[in-house]
Structure 1
């Protein structure tokens, strides 16, 4: 696929006529912003023709940025020494590109390094822009939108909120009041007085800073980096019927811990994936495996945070188990471990985290987030990012919603993404990156129900 870049330019916020010029200010990152992954994340949308002209998309983006100024700002260190977003309206990157071929024969709608050509580069040296978009048009009239944003600014829910707003702005529709963004990241998460730290956050969200490695020595991450080209990504498709049968198995026999209530689709499918990946890796009994599961705090905190809160509001659950026990025991055992771990990340846990992260202990002890962008290999562990409850398919620029949505190619061993299938029939796609030999074994067993 040969992608030709037509232009690359900066789009700045466009304010309504008569609106006063915005003040330039520093907005400190929240404790949730600073503990998440410090990297850009990219997603890809595909739209069938007809599609709006580039000028309409650019104008809509400028109008949306007026309400979401963080995306037009820059990350830096404020005068008070805190990492912050400078609201200076420096703008977002807009790339206009084309492919002289039809979409159907050009784009591999499967995990492939080629899809990285459909969004601005997020590898290598950091870029100033916190939001970068690329609109690629194909000879058939189809359009692909590659969207890359900095994770320190927004999580998945906030990203979807902005995308919907961009669509509304392009259609020149006025959003209802309930969809207006909430921008209070610098004041919303205050510690309690007195603080009450009830959980071991030093071992979950934070860890000691790694010691400097002497020249000539290597550590696990170096080994992972060397093996990077041996990691492959597979898209597994689980039909609604398959998931339904999995749920039935997880809820039997009658002695299941959650008999009469059953496990959710998420709990059941993650339990199945955890067991299948562990078996495919051939992890020996006696070795512990754990899963890092993102937990959205918007509905868990008390009072609940608005769904349209624009920032990060995610912590993680860490179910763990002996590898031999995980594989040998029934599916409901893994589902129960996941259920309990996720349920434990409740309002009390979120408040405890805020108290600890605001206490000064992180700075005094030199702690760093466990969300480590440099860790290439997670084996024997996994990370699970679920986008099942996020309405990414709601993006509409005026010519209809996308017919396809996918994460960019991310060969990070053990980092799985759950995405609702474009078929719209309740099926689920899972992007699974593993070492090539483990992946071949995973393909053989991932559709076995046991």
Structure 2
């Protein structure tokens, strides 16, 4: 697929009335500071008829006047607080073309070719970049990159809905809640959990871990494999996961599927039976913190659950075992846990003294023996309608980090799920053989 860049420019917010001040600096909150310090890229594809590029651009400019953080720049204020300057310096907007029909390159697969459908993720100052790529058949692919420290998945999906509203000439509603300073420590603070080793790790330990993983695996070929789980299979999986020793306990489809993938990937990796394996699972704090944080909050409010098991137990025990571990770990990330984290993360003296840095990073080639799952199942990403209908493809870009999974609702719209799973090529053969099997045993 030969993508030709036709134009590249900076566009700025389009205000109604007098523009606001461009000297405001908003410090990051404790959740912003602990999340992934990187750009994330998404791919949308639309069938004709598609809106003119000018509609997409103008709608984005109007939306940036409401979601001003995206049009700003990251930097430190006079006190050394890292955050966002609301200076309206704008976002990058690229127009591109492909001398072929979209059908000629379908299906869109997570491969290096995806990188040509969105702007670069490296050495970028813009917090949002958009690339509109048109095909000869009239189809269009919109590639979006956004900095994770500005917004989590929930907040980003609200932005996409607003962008679509603006393109369709609608009033943006609901409006975002932009107060990042609401997460203040209690007086006195009460740290009830061990956050060093969870959301934070020692700088030295992290450096050594990344080096070991990358040195051991940098010559291995990683393939991002897409797996489709039908609604029928998910139902069977949920039923299987919810039954043990003659007793039934209902778990969610998400918990059941993650438990299944944890077991299948662990089996495919051929790990030592006595080794520990762990999953990093995002937990949205909007509905966990009391009083509840509004869904319209714009920023990051995510912590993680870390279910852990020995490989032998994970594979020898029935699926219910893994599902329960996951369910229990997620349940523990409750109001008390979030508030304990807020108290801990606001104590800069402790973080400095212990030389702690966020454990969330995307610098490793491999997460083995561990996994990470980013679930976009509950976010309305498919609601990005520029005026001619919703996308028929929504997917993450190409992230060849072994063990870093993405879960996305299938475009079929029947409740089925697509999983994007990066694995080493020599493990992928085994994975394909057993990815729909419920009968797994350790060696």
Task: Normalising by structure 1, report the TM-score.
Answer: 0.94
Q: Can you give the 5+ residue segments of structure 1 that lack an aligned partner in the other structure?
A: none
Name the counterpart of 2:35: 36
- Count of residues in Structure 1 that have an aligned counterpart in Structure 2: 438
Take 1:370 and 1:225, find their aligned partners in 2: how far apart are those partners?
A: 20
Classify 1:213/1:92 alpha carbon distance in 2 versus 1 (closer, same or farther; 3 Å). closer
Shift of 1:224: 5.0
Q: Deviation string for 1:183-226 (max 9, x for gaps)?
A: 001x1100000000000000100011127989xxx931431562
Q: Which residue does the alignment assign to 2:204? A: 210
**1:164 aligned to 2:161?**
yes
Task: Provide the rounded CA distance (Å) in 1 between the counterparts of 2:72 and 2:358.
Answer: 24
Match of 2:215, SS state, is helix
Q: Which of 308, 315, 318 is the matching residue for 1:330?
A: 318
Does the CA-based 8 Å contact 1:133-1:147 persist in structure 2? yes
Of stretches 33-42 and 244-253 in structure 1, the one that deviates more from structure 2 is: 244-253
Give 4+ residue runs of structure 1 displaced > 6 Å after superposition.
Answer: 211-214
Alignment partner, residue 228 of structure 2: 237
Equivalents in 1 of 2:216, 2:285: separation in Å?
A: 32
Question: 2:127 is matched with which residue: 121, 126, 130?
Answer: 130
1:44-103 Cα shifts (integer Å, max 9, x gaps): 000011111111111111100000110000011111101110110000110001111100
* Larger displacement relative to structure 2 (4-13 or 229-238): 229-238
Give distance in 2, aligned partners of 1:222 and 1:403: 36
1:92 correspondence with 2:91: yes
Q: Distance in 1 between matches of 2:164 and 2:133?
A: 17
Alignment root-mean-square deviation, CA: 1.7
Q: Distance in 1 between matches of 2:128 and 2:216?
A: 29
Secondary structure class of the residue paired with 1:202: coil
Q: 1:282 aligns with which of 267, 270, 277?
A: 270
Equivalences for 1:251-400 in 2 at 5 Å?
251-253=242-244, 255-256=246-247, 259=248, 261-360=249-348, 361-400=350-389
Q: Whole-Å Cα distance in 1 between the matches of residues 405 and 216 of structure 2?
A: 17
Note if contact 1:167-1:397 (Cα within 8 Å) is conserved in structure 2.
yes
CA distance in 1, matches of 2:198, 2:381: 29
Instruction: Give unmatched runs, 5+ long, in structure 2.
Output: none
The answer for the alignment partner of 2:116 in structure 1 is: 117
Q: Is the 8 A contact 1:274 1:382 kept in 2?
A: yes
Which SS does the other structure have where 1:374 is aligned?
A: coil
**Shift in Å at residue 366 of structure 1?**
2.1
Give the match's secondary structure for 2:182: coil
Instruction: Give the TM-score normalised by the residue count of structure 2.
Output: 0.96
3-state SS in 1 of match to 2:65: helix
SS of 1:41's equivalent in the other structure is strand
